[in-house]
Amino acid sequence: MLQREDIIRHLQERLQPQPYLFALWMEGSDASESADEYSDLDFWLDFEDVYEQEAISDVEQALKELAELDYCYVIAHEHPKIRQRIYHLKGTPRFLTIDFCWQLHSRDMSGLSFAVGDRVESAKVLFDKGNVVKFTKESKLLSPEERLKLLNECDYRYDQHNRVEKYILREEYPEAYACYNRYVIEPLVTLLRLQHTPSHTDYGLVHISRHIPSDQLRRLRKLLQFSSLRDLEDNMREAQIWYAQLRGRENVTSD
């Protein structure tokens, strides 16, 4: 059976010789050295703008040399100079999907770099003929104004717990669940992100099990577990206590 290392090596060998392909790198679990048997593959390829079709064709042909493509989904990426497709090779583990992004070489890369030692976002360079992938010693932090805006948004949501309570009183579980996530969990997670991953406050719950201390993870998991509206009420009281504690430390830090 094909292994992830086989796919990585083959794509590197097949794509590197093409003169219009400038850089190939990996992000996600391979870049952070946290890949396991459930991890997908996250590739990025930088190409000369006029060779877009060739760049996509090169990748798909290289994959087909390994196995039949039994899945291909084209994502309409929101960035005008990024193309994205999701693949799966027949006969490989179902978790081993291939998330492939192409970027036009003319994409404005100012401000886009990887901080050395960043445990959330990193890059594993397979080849770079155009000095595309940049590394820096400094993490990208929010400005004081951005940080204050984010804290104000957290406080606004925190003050909207009545939105959850009204649906609990109406015994409308779906609505209570939705509001609980938005007005109780999300502000808490943002404060945890500000504390532990301040360069990546927008990650939400993605990989948060790896990013916060075990005691806080246990506390968060408890708030995410409920089976009744009564559980939501109990969790909200605990969340309010925790939010006040985190916000108090944030005030100390911000002064």
pLDDT, one tens digit per residue, over 26-45 is 999 999 999 999 999 999 99
Bridge partners, 124 (sequence order): 26
Q: Is the pLDDT at 253 greater than 50, yes or no?
A: no
Q: Tens digits of per-residue pLDDT, 142-154? A: 999 999 999 999 9
Which CATH number goes with the domain that contains 111? 3.30.460.10
Q: Are residues 94 and 163 in the same domain?
A: no
Q: Which domain holds residue 215?
A: 144-254
Which CATH number goes with the domain that contains 232? 1.20.120
Q: Is the pLDDT at 113 greater than 90, yes or no?
A: no
Q: Are residues 88 and 151 in the same domain?
A: no
Q: Tens digits of per-residue pLDDT, 52-99? A: 999 999 999 999 999 999 999 999 999 999 999 999 999 999 999 999
Q: Are residues 16 and 120 in the same domain?
A: yes
pTM, two decimals, is: 0.88
